[in-house]
Amino acid sequence: WFMAITAKLQHRFAQEIVGLQKKNLQITRARQQIGQGSERDVHLAKGSLASAQNAARSALSAYENSLRSLELLLGRYPSADLKTADKLVAVPPPIPAGIPSEILERRPDLIAAEREVARAFYKEKEANLLHLPRFTFSIGVGINSLNDAIAGLAAGLFAPLYTGGAIEAEVQKATAEQNAAIASYAQKALQAFKEVETSLAAEEHLAKREEYLGIEEKENKIAYQQTKKQYEIGQIPLLDVLTVQQKWIGAKIAKLDITDKRLINRVRLHLALGGSFEQPSMTAKSTAAR
């Protein structure tokens, strides 16, 4: 959905650039007619217009392809006529600090892995046999807390996972099948931690990049407007205008792309957490396990 809207906005912007290049060509021809412009500038303007038209056509193709992919996902015929929003939604509020690690225990893959351990230990009727290491996730903290919490786990010692659970006393005499079930749970837990940490780190980096690109877009747009005025009164050649214009276009497209990536990353974070930032009740987890 986000990718389709982004493609739509990119196509719209590409069409705006075509309009700008047409105006540039008109101005260039008018200046040539009164002896203030050159034939070279006219050719540059024509080439830039053709380049913009090509980019607009490419953007339209990308937009239509994204619509077909979305329609296919929705079980509809891929006709590329799905209506989408005209702008991306605002990036959600900041991620709260101190997300408890146990919130991941509601993830379907961890619940399924826990049930496999339960079956291996013949405790299918007991819920919450395993517990993840207790620590908190926070943006900017890094992975040190995670490393400290699961150092034993990474070395192949699974005690942090089931301490406090119902099978702690039986692990010392576990069979190969039971150890395999515990190892599978541990591996899935590590993967879950990695997904959360990756999304949190990406949120921090993408937010800063979006900020920098916003500044770049703003400043380059001002520079383009000033450069265009200078060209219109004959102070600079058309090539200078096109160079600054390209920088502005590049910054605007890059900022749109980063906003899209931030929204997609937030979705991935919620998938990694298994839901919202709120910690589920044990009753809810037990119900999900059943």
pLDDT digits (tens, 9 = 90+) for 84-112: 888 887 777 777 776 777 777 788 888 88
State whether 120 and 30 are in the same domain: no
As a whole number of angstroms, the distance between CA 262 and CA 74 comes to 23
- Identify whether residues 189 and 114 lie together within a single domain: yes
Distance CA 181, CA 178 (A): 5
Asked if the model's pLDDT at residue 234 lies above 90, the reply is: no
Q: What is the pLDDT of residue 285?
A: 47
Going from the C-alpha of 279 to that of each of 22, 87, 91, 215, the distances in angstroms are: 56, 32, 22, 37
Does residue 23 carry a pLDDT above 70?
yes
Residue 240: is its pLDDT beyond 70?
yes
- The answer to whether the CB of 104 falls within 8 A of the CB of 132 is yes
Query: Which tokens belong to 161?
Result: 């996972």
How does pLDDT run across 25-66, given as a tens digit for each residue?
888 888 888 887 788 889 988 999 999 999 999 999 999 999
Those residues whose C-beta lies under 8 Å from the C-beta of residue 239, and which sit 6 or more positions away, are 41, 44
- Domain total for the chain? 2
- For the record, the structure tokens of 216 come out as 């770049």
63 and 108 in one domain? no
pLDDT of residue 212: 96
Q: By residue range, what is the domain housing residue 145?
A: 100-198+285-289
Q: What angle do CA 191, 192, 198 make, to 5 degrees?
A: 85
Has residue 108 been placed in a domain? yes
125 and 43 belong to one structural domain: no
Last residue of a domain, one of 86, 110, 130: 86
Domain membership flag for residue 270: no
Which of 86, 120, 141 terminates a domain? The answer is: 86
When pLDDT is averaged across residues 113-130 and rounded to a whole number, the result is 66
Per the CB < 8 A criterion, the answer to whether 108 and 274 are in contact is: yes
10 and 76: one domain? yes
Q: Is residue 265 part of a domain?
A: no
pTM for this entry:
0.67
In contact, 165 and 129? CB cutoff 8 Å: yes
The residue among 2 and 138 whose pLDDT is bigger is 2
**Which one has a higher pLDDT value, 32 or 226?**
226
> Three-state DSSP class for 99?
strand
- pLDDT computed for residue 140 by the predictor: 54
**Structural domain contains residue 192:** yes
The reported pLDDT for the residue numbered 284 is 47
